[in-house]
Chain A
Amino acid sequence: DAMVIQNPRYQVTQFGKPVTLSCSQTLNHNVMYWYQQKSSQAPKLLFHYYDKDFNNEADTPDNFQSRRPNTSFCFLDIRSPGLGDAAMYLCATSRRQGNNEQFFGPGTRLTVL
């Protein structure tokens, strides 16, 4: 089945230690998104890629970076995680820019010690 896959499902890192979260998709969608969802809060968009074009949200901290080496894969890099970065990170895809429906992966829960 076509899907959005996130690895790992659970990630523990230490304060200040760089961490990378992975997302892959078999849907061949143009657009890939990263959302951050903290406990009892709404998912918040960090950035998205439309093909290779990177679009950062204005309030996304510089500590968060992303890479998309090809259509199928997208990575979220947190350069120096702080305790406040502990959250669920959701990857999503959609067929084209402006398309309404986004398909989500199961998420990676990040713990910062």
Chain B
Amino acid sequence: DQQVKQNSPSLSVQEGRISILNCDYTNSMFDYFLWYKKYPAEGPTFLISISSIKDKNEDGRFTVFLNKSAKHLSLHIVPSQPGDSAVYFCAARGRRQGANNLFFGTGTRLTVIP
């Protein structure tokens, strides 16, 4: 029962174009969402997050959009750069007091073609 789903295992984009990575979730109790980026042989690193009280958060080339009614979020990278090539994980946090459990998606491998 995967509560966070990333239905696209891979995505290829030309350098300079926009990359859009999608994530769906099933649990309406999730109140905070995060994106992590993972290079080979390294652990995931935090990229950007969004609270459920917002619908957009922007940090430089990275923007996360949240559509609560659709239980959907997306990560936009613009312009995409070859160094952005990595696996991107979407994660969600439950609204439990002192909650620590992040539920992860299975990841999307982004390849930015020079």
Contacts and interface: CB of A to CB of B under 8 A. Distances in A.
A43 to B, nearest CB: 5
A101 B46 contact: yes
A4 B43 contact: yes
Contact of A97 (B34, B44, B98): B98
Interface string A96-113: 011011111111000000
Contacts of A40: 9, 106
B89 interface: yes
Nearest to A31: B100
Nearest to B49: A100
Contact of A94 (B36, B49, B100, B107): B100
Q: Chain A: interface residue count, which band?
A: 20 to 34
B67 to A, nearest CB: 20
B100 A97 contact: yes
Interface in B26-58: 32, 34, 36, 41-46, 49
A4 B43 CA distance: 9
Given A57-B101, A94-B100, A104 B43 contact: yes
B99 A98 contact: yes
Contact of B41 (A4, A43, A106): A106
B93 interface: yes
A90 B100 contact: no
Contacts of A50: 98, 100
Contacts of A33: 100
Interface string B7-18: 001000000000
Contacts of B93: 100
A98 B100 contact: yes
A68 to B, nearest CB: 14
Interface of A: 4, 6, 9, 31, 33, 40-45, 48, 50, 55, 57, 90, 92, 94, 97-98, 100-107
